Amino acid sequence: MAISETSTMKEGKERYKSGVIPYKKMGYWEPDYDIKETDVLAMFRLTPQKGVEPDECAAAVAGESSTATWTVVWTDRLTACEMYRAKAYRVDLVPNTGPGTDNEAQYFAYIAYDIDLFEGGSIANLTASIIGNVFGMKAVKALRLEDMRIPVAYLKTFQGPATGVIVERERMDKFGRPLLGATTKPKLGLSGRNYGRVVYEALKGGLDFMKDDENINSQPFMHWRDRFLYCMDAVNKASAATGEVKGHYMNVTAGTMEEMYERAEFAKSLGSVIIMIDLVIGYTAIQSMAKWARANDMILHLHRAGNSTYSRQKNHGMSFRVICKWMRMAGVDHIHAGTVVGKLEGDPLMIRGYYDTLLDTKTEMQLEKGIFFDQEWASLNKCMPVASGGIHAGQMHQLIHYLGEDVVLQFGGGTIGHPDGIQAGAVANRTALEVMIQARNEGRDIWNEGPQILADAAKWCSPLKAGLDTWKDITFNYESTDSPDFVPTATASV
């Protein structure tokens, strides 16, 4: 349902007369706007307050995220104000909301921003406008940023992933399959030596990576330098024992940029191929570490710690697909992006949309995946999605079906919680992965045959059998809170 046009007052005496006029009349609502290739486009889900028309609400979001304030200011006339005004150009009723449904009316509002409103190469500046004060406006009952289209001209001002999927595979010498990893457990409380032992056992058993978790930094029970030393000793010994390239994500997250650089430099001096940061360090710090990683030939892993405080709810905050876009622009090589079958939030189609956003050279509009715009990626490197949280070897066929092979599958509890020990847990995961990839390459239907493929492999791999017996009935079948608004429907051929 499109909202009809109303008159505006872009120029003239009445437009700049002191006082308050609706945002629509100030020029922030323009349903006939001709979108430029260089425009930054944003699509918001908005819930207007009672008595506020949806097009006025959209115009208010456009205004307050660009040049407007609550009252008319004559100083607009000292600027190229018509160019700098964001334009709300389309408002649609969200399916299954509003009259005739049990849900309050919500609207998809499309807004165009001139590229000159943003500083090149700065996620901080981009987000200060798009998700700045507008989320606290009283006229808007709830607001969620669903998607953005970043023009090629603006993308070209960003570095993109420091390493990228192709070069990471070359450095790790791993091709044709997902990478395997795990998070050290328990994530807090171990001494440096015991922590390193966990890392060694898992890598020797067949994993490619081990990692720090989001909140292991430098605590009294284990200071960062001790952890780095013991972990790199484990990596080197496991590499020597297996003949494979191994890595451990060294979490360099700290209280200041100076401390993060110090930790990253120490990890580099020890020979680490990968370091890690947390989303909570902020956009500028993430971009700074990405530039360091590019200059120092280091893979950069990003843990999405904190994202669910604003990405999980349907009507307010922002979609994780937007975070995926921003982080690919910012320059990280890995980001946790969901598992579908694990313990964390994840609708299958929405998760696939996140993965497409991270891996495509061009992402096509696919409403069923929550992708509302075509997005050209302007040769930015691909960002490797990471699947972690409540997954185990018995789900291997599902994971490959949903997520493909350009992904890091991280089995933390599914490795370290194995009844026969950590190394046996790693053997179980590596075996499950390799037999499933072989079956896929042979043309077998792994979605339907997967359980039998694993059962057959368990006959000659006792660690896999023990893992399947332990976790065979474990599922996390809860309804997702972030699900698609659009469902593809078949049409009869004529």
Catalytic residues: 185, 303
Nearest to 30 by CA among 54, 6, 50, 14: 6
Q: For residues 464 and 426, what is the distance between their CA atoms, to the nearest angstrom?
A: 9
Q: For residues 106 and 95, what is the distance between their CA atoms, to the nearest angstrom?
A: 9
Q: For residues 327 and 148, what is the distance between their CA atoms, to the nearest angstrom?
A: 13
The three state secondary structure string of the chain is: CECCCCCCCCCCCCCCCCCCCCCHHHHHECCCCCCCCCCEEEEEEEEECCCCCHHHHHHHHHHHCCCCCCCCCHHHHHCCHHHHCCEEEEEEECCCCCCCCCCCCCEEEEEEECHHHCCCCCHHHHHHHHCCHHHHCCCEEEEEEEEEECCHHHHCCCCCCCCCHHHHHHHHCCCCCCEEECECCCCCCCCHHHHHHHHHHHHHCCCCEEECCCCCCCECCECHHHHHHHHHHHHHHHHHHHCCCCEEEEECCCCCHHHHHHHHHHHHHCCCCEEEEEHHHCHHHHHHHHHHHHHCCCEEEEECCCCHHHHCCCCCEECHHHHHHHHHHHCCCEEECCCCCCCCCCCHHHHHHHHHHHHCCEECCEHHHCECCCEECCCCCCCEEEEECCCCHHHHHHHHHHHCCCCEEECCHHHHCCCCCHHHHHHHHHHHHHHHHHHHHCCCCHHHHHHHHHHHHHCCCHHHHHHHHHHCCCCCCCCCCCCCCCCCCCCCCC
* Backbone φ and ψ of 462, nearest 5°: -65, -35
